[in-house]
Structure 1
Amino acid sequence: MAGRGARAARRELEELADLTGALLATSAVARGLFRGSPWDLDVSGGFASPLTAELVRGADVLVGWGCAFTMWTTRHGTLIGPDTVVVQVDLDEDALGAHRPVHLGVTGDVARTARAVTRLLGGHRDGAGGDGDADGARGDGDAAGYRSAALAARIAGEGRWRDVPYEDEGGNGRIDPRTLTIGLDDLLPAERVVAVDSGNFMGYPSMFLDVPDERGFCFTQAFQSVGLGLATAIGAALARPDRLAVAALGDGGALMGVSELETVVRLGIPMVIVVYDDDGYGAEVHHFGPDGHPLDTVTFPPADIAAIARGFGCDAVTVRDVADLAEVARLLDGAGDRPLLVHARVARSRGAWWLEEAFRGH
């Protein structure tokens, strides 16, 4: 399991995983690191697909490389099996075991530590063989491990959230956020950088919008604060002008940062801004509502966010069902230097799956 501290060590970690038969997963902030590998499980934690959760929980050994093992990454510890041996590698000695007990903590750089373990297991690394293996060929450590042809087929067929069957909850002028995001994933260019704000909605773009690599995903959750998504997307767009920036926002966060639409227009950034609008702060609605708390301060009257965006100089379209995505496709095909805002009126009958999981620890 690779975290932010492993983002520069893909090659070393993949070689060690090949040698030991290990599967590959990441924390949310390192999403995309192993994209393209047939053994990539994508994100562990609250965003984990059912298959990823099953395989992480069933591991005999779990090694965190530059990964903090927070409650989010481990689903409050439930993703770690009772007999799993847990190892953590981190440059910061104080980080070892900070969020959960580990059986072994190793202070060290991720890439250098992975190379050292590969050598100890008799694997080849940069032309230097391991101990007792002068020609650099793999020794007894070369094993199938967790890998099999049947499992590779399961990962290919079940590993992505969009491959998990669901009952569409759209209707009455609102689109299911899963259906919306799968549709956008098909329409948007593959070379993208996705920046996600905080809120009930955030699991949908985080899990249903694919990213090309670990530099294609910007997560704003370090502060647990709503309203940072659009500014984050602007920074990502300026840092990677070769990729389309996609800002994924809730209606609350979008209205908090709405003045930044002027920045996007003024700088001529060809950005796509997706607003998941459920007429409220969805996390609070679904967290406090079931207990009978008043929700008048966290629910909003309907707002025409598309009209607001046009006032700033954006192209904009409101999406209430799948048919409305045709207009999104048309605007994308004719994209010039104007950003496009997609105002999605999304279904709001219940909290997102990841939110229900997260709030169990509150």
Structure 2
Amino acid sequence: MTCAELLIRLLRERYDVDTLFGIPGVHTVELYRGLQGQAIRHVTPRHEQGAGFMADGYARASGKPGVCLIITGPGMTNIATAMGQALADSVPMLVISSVNRRDTLGRGQGRLHELPSQQQTLSGVSRFSHTLLDPDALPEVLARAFAVFTSARPGPVHIEIPIDLFAAPVTPPTNWQAPRLYRPAPNLDGIAQAAEWLRDAKRPLVLLGGGCVDAPEAARQLVERLDAPCATTINAKGLLGRDHPLDLGANTALPAVRQLAHDADVILAVGTELGETDYDVVFDDGFTLTGRLIRIDIDPEQLVRNQATALGLVGDADSALKMLLAQVQAPLSRDGAQRTRAAHEALALGSDPAFSTFVPLYDTLAKTLPEAILVGDSTAPVYAGNHLVSQPEPRRYFNASTGYGTLGYGLPAALGAQLARPDLPVIALVGDGGVMFTLSELATAVEERLPVVIVLWHNAGYEEIRRYMDAHGVPRLGVDLRAPDFQQLSVGFGCAARRVGSPRELADALASRPGDAPYLIEIDAFAWQSSLGVAP
């Protein structure tokens, strides 16, 4: 067995990988020899950044690591942006790449795809980056990668294999079973102290982040037992179910929720960075906590970032929530639902002029496709959806507006989500500016016959940056873009398309979507706003 063959077999038989994203190159062809006869679906994106975003969407929708096969040099610098987004949002992604022959590494000989140090270049956007120098060490290195995915704070891992090792003979392992690894549980004394503070609290608040997405039942039970208002981050939407009476949504940057947070005497924050793009998206440092803050996170460094922690516990969110439930057995009464309802009434999101354009959009999507996974780019509808959307389960709403905040994420990530969850409808929410970064992935959607609905908000440029320039007295330069004819482009790709200008037309278009192919619905933003009587 060769190193390349062993790699593919380990991925399939030991780690249950069923989908790979990659673009074959002269440095990776031996990996494709190893793919022959294996029960793994290979998807060919049109750009390595698209491969990374597809792997990201696959991982977020499924909970399993997304896996990419990438060529040396430009392939790796192309995927680095996607790795940066996955790193910021703690998304498990395995990037396996080639690198030049061992005897040429670091010699600067001008070899094909050569970088001075590919490993160092990628180490900044990965949990770790490893150069395989001994083919027999491959099982151990892969085990390290999956240990990060399953038992630590996840994120991208990069493993590079010199091209002279792909065909090297290896000794296959005698045991093909993956090790059973568990995440750490919090300290029992710390849990007891946290439970005591929460029981005695008069105005408790719970903050749940993306680290809790695999613990929805425990999260919901604890929030209800504490009778505490609960804010969920964007990546944690759906944890409590749709429209739960204690769910404040992802609205911690808005005044009513900030006041509630400021007044809370005990705050429990689980699996959340308490970072800027979730808690301070207005960028004024206005999210302040004055009560005793209990933090639980699998990453010890997160316990002391961004806010002053009174009690910090390292451990898995699911274990921690269940341990707290065991300590808080009797339901408490602290007017949680009333406090949450008062905050929502003060927010009045449905009538807020900042969101009025998009309330009918999300009402239409929820009525027509209530079970859909919504995958967004950095675009105006998504910024509004972060506040407006409520989902029935976690892993059904995610986008690139948090953390790294890249453009071009929405379309390829939606394709990855559809591959991971063929049983659910998937909607990509993109803008006419950002979609141009990865529009070529429409070809992948057509080729793979993925029934993703692409809802394209067309407002002729970078509207959010235009508004920012206007607000700061900066002349509008570089933001008024000439867009292509998306209808003709879609037809050229072999994708059905339709242009709409009102909620009724959007509902009609959604009702006529094909079930076995992508469908692009272009919303004329100005016609849409006119139909609602909203000023552009």
TM-score, length-scaled by structure 1: 0.77
Choose 1 or 2 for highest CA Rg. Answer: 2
Aligned residues: 317
**In the alignment, which of 250, 265, 275 is matched to residue 60 of structure 1?**
265
**In the alignment, which of 375, 393, 398 is matched to residue 218 of structure 1?**
398
Distance (whole Å) between structure 2 residues aligned to residue 44 and residue 253 of structure 1: 24
Q: Which whole-Å deviations, capped at 9, do the CAs of 1:71-126 have from their partners, x for residues lacking one?
A: 23222553435x332221111111112122222222222222233333334x2xxx
| 2:117 matches 1:117 | no
Pair 154,101 (structure 1): closer, same or farther in 2 beyond 3 Å: closer
Distance (whole Å) between structure 1 residues aligned to residue 410 and residue 496 of structure 2: 19
| 2:380 matches 1:191 | no
1:102-181 residue pairs with structure 2 within 5 A? 102-121=309-328, 123=329, 138=330, 142-148=331-337, 150-151=338-339, 164-166=350-352, 176-181=357-362
> Structure 2 unaligned runs (5+)?
1-206, 530-536
Pair 153,62 (structure 1): closer, same or farther in 2 beyond 3 Å: closer
**In the alignment, which of 47, 71, 74 is matched to residue 276 of structure 2?**
71
| 2:411 matches 1:230 | yes
- What is the letter of the counterpart of residue 429 of structure 2? A
* Worse-superposed segment, 219-228 or 89-98: 219-228
- What is the letter of the counterpart of residue 517 of structure 2? R
| 2:447 matches 1:242 | no
Q: Once the 2 structures are TM-superposed, how far is the Cα of residue 241 of structure 1 from its aligned partner?
A: 0.6
What's 2:304 paired with?
97
What's 1:359 paired with?
none
- What is the letter of the counterpart of residue 257 of structure 1? T
Q: CA RMSD in A?
A: 3.0
What's 1:80 paired with?
288
Q: Once the 2 structures are TM-superposed, how far is the Cα of residue 144 of structure 1 from its aligned partner?
A: 0.3
Pair 234,167 (structure 1): closer, same or farther in 2 beyond 3 Å: same
Pair 184,191 (structure 1): closer, same or farther in 2 beyond 3 Å: closer
* Worse-superposed segment, 35-44 or 51-60: 51-60
Distance (whole Å) between structure 1 residues aligned to residue 444 and residue 398 of structure 2: 19
What's 2:451 paired with?
270
Q: Report percent identity of matched pairs.
A: 24
Q: Which whole-Å deviations, capped at 9, do the CAs of 1:225-257 have from their partners, x for residues lacking one?
A: 111111111111100111111100111111221
What's 2:220 paired with?
14
What's 2:22 paired with?
none
**In the alignment, which of 518, 527, 530 is matched to residue 339 of structure 1?**
518
**In the alignment, which of 285, 294, 305 is matched to residue 466 of structure 2?**
285
What's 1:33 paired with?
239
TM-score, length-scaled by structure 2: 0.54
Distance (whole Å) between structure 2 residues aligned to residue 307 and residue 58 of structure 1: 54
- What is the letter of the counterpart of residue 288 of structure 2? I
Pair 319,40 (structure 1): closer, same or farther in 2 beyond 3 Å: same
Distance (whole Å) between structure 2 residues aligned to residue 310 and residue 56 of structure 1: 50
| Alpha carbons 1:202, 1:248 under 8 Å: kept | yes
* Worse-superposed segment, 297-306 or 226-235: 297-306
1:195-206 residue pairs with structure 2 within 5 A? 195-206=375-386
- What is the letter of the counterpart of residue 210 of structure 2? R
Q: Name the SS for the 1:222 alignment partner.
A: coil
Distance (whole Å) between structure 2 residues aligned to residue 202 and residue 326 of structure 1: 19
| Alpha carbons 2:208, 2:271 under 8 Å: kept | yes
Q: Once the 2 structures are TM-superposed, how far is the Cα of residue 42 of structure 1 from its aligned partner?
A: 2.1
Pair 22,152 (structure 1): closer, same or farther in 2 beyond 3 Å: closer
Q: Name the SS for the 1:191 alignment partner.
A: coil
> Structure 1 unaligned runs (5+)?
124-137, 171-175, 351-362
Distance (whole Å) between structure 1 residues aligned to residue 526 and residue 333 of structure 2: 44
- What is the letter of the counterpart of residue 248 of structure 1? L
| Alpha carbons 1:57, 1:78 under 8 Å: kept | no
Q: Name the SS for the 1:249 alignment partner.
A: strand
What's 1:132 paired with?
none
